Chain A
Amino acid sequence: MLADNVVHFARVLRHAGVPVGPDRVLAALEAIEAVGLARRDDVHAALSAVMIDRHEQQALFDDAFAAFWRDPKLLERMMAELLPKISGRGERANKPRSHRLADALAPAALPEAARAPQRPDEALDFETSFAFSDREKLQRADFESMTAAEFELAKKLAEEVPLPFAPARRRRHAASERGTIDLRATMLAMARQPETLVPRFSRPRTELPTIVVLLDVSGSMDRYARLMLHYVHGLTRRYLKVHTLTFGTRLTNITRALRHRDPDLALELASAQVPDWKGGTRIASCLDDFNRHWAKRLLGANAALLLVTDGLDRDEQGELTRAAQQLRLFARQIVWLNPLLRFDRFEPRAGGVRALLPCVDRFLPVHNLASLADLATALQSTPAPRR
């Protein structure tokens, strides 16, 4: 009976986007057995310790737990309400399906989406929650799906075109022809061949830093946002250490949506998360928000920042300057890709551009970025900076 309940509870959590594997269900049973059923808060703490693994899941877990001991049915309805707000990854994020969302999905994804109406009561709740998020949304992104040619190009672009970042030198060493003597490897070689002493060398590895993409999705950037998302999606697939946040009037982390393999689905999921497509721009407050809440978590180990914005914002009371300078302190290198401007005629007139420019290491202006091919040319044009 207890086992049934725990399994059921785990399934509900899973539905809500908390990845609870069967191993954790077993661990949960063990944990309950260890603390006993005498105290509700002990059981709560025990289940929480084994079933979640990041702080963001705590609030959801607490709500679920509170409801679980009262009415499992109520819990299910609550979960359904919560669903669209949860940024699950891949298939899990795909779970909240309304007919409208299903229609918007690529045809390939339809068989999965068709499963949704199996539970009529849940589907009803999805509708209400989606209506809510529509009100919240300023404007919905309208992505037509990629053509096959575009898909090929995006893939090629992400795989072959060098990134605009300088590789970072790590502290970890790798075997090499030259460098410092690796005593352990040398000794191992000598043990095999005592007559000859062939020193082995190693040198610090260099590898690409973690990349954080800050993508402007405001009205003025509308034409380029989709293009950039395709590129970033390609990057995310090729290279896992990419984090993507969009900003217009508010900041949204869409990293998990972009980890989905299918580009159309990934973009669809991402756009469903972003409430401020084609809205206004508040670069300063978004950068400040990023500095406060994300910079320490994402810009840790020498990460690089790719800022994609036209910089068309005012710099009221030096707010943007302050935020940009703060950002400068967090990121090891900042590359600014501006899809509106051409280099030779470029004049930093807008206050936002003037405020941002001194804080970036590399400025990549692309005149009228219309296709992925343009982006490739821009990325290849100048070598990565050395710092």
Chain B
Amino acid sequence: MTSAATPANAAIAAIAATPSASAAPASVDAVIAALAAEDYVADRRLATSVFLALTLKRPLFVEGEPGVGKTELAKALARALQALLLRVQCYEGLDVAQTAYEWNVARQMMEIRLAEAAHDVGDAASRERLAKSLYARSMLIERPLLQALTQAQSPVLLIDELDRADEPFDAFLLEVLAENQLTIPELGTVKAAPGAAPIVVITSNRTREIHDALKRRCLYHWVDYPDVERELEIVRIRAPGAPERLAVQVVAFVQRMRTLDLFKAPGIAETIDWSNALVALNALSLAPDNVRDTLGVLLKHRDDIAKLQGGDVTRLLAELQATARG
């Protein structure tokens, strides 16, 4: 019974076995093309960072305001490489049991009980045997970090919002990131097979500074808000229902909004949501009324909404129309 894999492990083995390994993109342009095929519009800087992460086999540390497409990057990358995506969503108090591995204590208990029932715990040798079987590999429940090291083909490991986890977790990650290995005290060291090391993408919203020791091992990329052309391209892809005129107006409006002194400027995710919301309301172009009614999609801070509701919307729209004409 000790050799039977748990259902979860079996499922993952199956997933890992099916897709044929697609070759890593050979140039920066190939990265842009591969991501574009997965509906992710990457600028050249970001694509260079991704290309380097793949070539130099270093983790990619992406930082930026919420809603600029950090998590989406990892997902698109996994699809583009036809790799398995393993995700660790961080939160405070995250520990080894939730991210790397956990001993299947219920099964261990059962093992002991069975050994007792068979009167097999009497002498030292049988006791040793029992202890060994309790800490065999099959007793281990694999969580994403360990799974990332046991695949046949390089998976994409997404460590999302690392800033939400506490510092001890950063330290714990060091071994996995630097050596592609994980030490389990009772069992030994698990190391990724050569050529199957995980492609690691770490995201952070910068609610705290991540320790330098961890950043040092990564490639750093700050994801900025996109420029007008790129954002328009993104809206066209992600909100296909929006008429061209509306899309242009939405992007111009959001871009102008980011220059205001707001608590939280709208991200790309908000632009997409807003476009879709306006489409759902059958809006063909921006008007003071429909902008005011849907501001909640774009701005998530009471003070920001109050600021814009008070007459700013009309002024901004007039300003945009003037620039569109001129």
Report which A residues bind B (CB closer than 8 A): 19, 21, 23-24, 27, 30-31, 34-35, 41-42, 44-46, 48-50, 52-55, 58, 170-173, 183-184, 187-188, 190-192, 194, 210, 291-292, 296-298, 300-301, 326
Contacts and interface: CB of A to CB of B under 8 A. Distances in A.
A63 to B, nearest CB: 16
A298 B97 CA distance: 28
A193 to B, nearest CB: 10
B295 interface: no
Contacts of A298: 208
A187 B215 CA distance: 36
Contacts of A173: 95
B105 A49 contact: no
B44 A45 contact: yes
B29 to A, nearest CB: 10
A41 B121 contact: no
B207 A194 contact: no
Given A50-B219, A52-B220, A53-B215, A194 B56 contact: no
Contacts of A172: 93, 95, 166, 168
Given A41-B44, A45-B44, A49-B219, A300 B112 contact: no
A326 to B, nearest CB: 8
A44 B49 CA distance: 10
Main secondary structure of the interface of A (DSSP, over half): helix
Interface in B117-155: 121, 127, 130-131, 134-135
Contacts of B61: 53
A20 to B, nearest CB: 10
Contacts of A184: 97, 102-103, 105
B48 A46 contact: yes
A185 to B, nearest CB: 10
B175 interface: no
A329 B76 CA distance: 36
A22 to B, nearest CB: 12
A297 B207 contact: yes
B52 A301 contact: no
B46 to A, nearest CB: 8
Contact of A300 (B51, B207, B218, B221): B207
Contacts of B164: 300
Given A170-B166, A191-B134, A45 B48 contact: yes
B52 A292 contact: no
Nearest to B220: A53
Given A191-B135, A292-B261, A296-B207, A53 B216 contact: yes
Contacts of B303: 326
A49 B52 CA distance: 9
Nearest to B60: A49
B227 interface: no
B108 interface: yes
Interface of B: 28, 44-45, 48-49, 51-52, 55-56, 58, 61, 63, 91-93, 95, 97, 102-103, 105, 108-109, 112, 121, 127, 130-131, 134-135, 163-164, 166, 168, 186, 206-209, 212, 215-216, 218-222, 261, 263, 303
Contacts of A19: 212
A49 B221 contact: yes
Given A35-B51, A301-B92, A42 B222 contact: no
Contacts of B55: 34
Given A46-B52, A54-B209, A55-B222, A41 B105 contact: no
11 contacts: A53-B218, A54-B215, A183-B105, A190-B112, A191-B134, A291-B263, A292-B263, A297-B206, A297-B209, A301-B208, A326-B303
B118 to A, nearest CB: 13
Contact of B134 (A30, A35, A187, A291): A187
A188 B220 CA distance: 40
A171 B263 contact: no
A53 B166 CA distance: 19
Given A53-B212, A183-B105, A194 B48 contact: no
Contact of A45 (B49, B97, B130, B131): B49
Contacts of A54: 63, 209, 215, 220
Contacts of B127: 194
Nearest to B165: A301
A183 B206 CA distance: 35
Contact of A34 (B51, B63, B209, B215): B51
Contact of A171 (B63, B93, B130, B186): B93
A54 B168 CA distance: 20
A133 B215 CA distance: 32
Given A58-B222, A170-B93, A34 B52 contact: yes
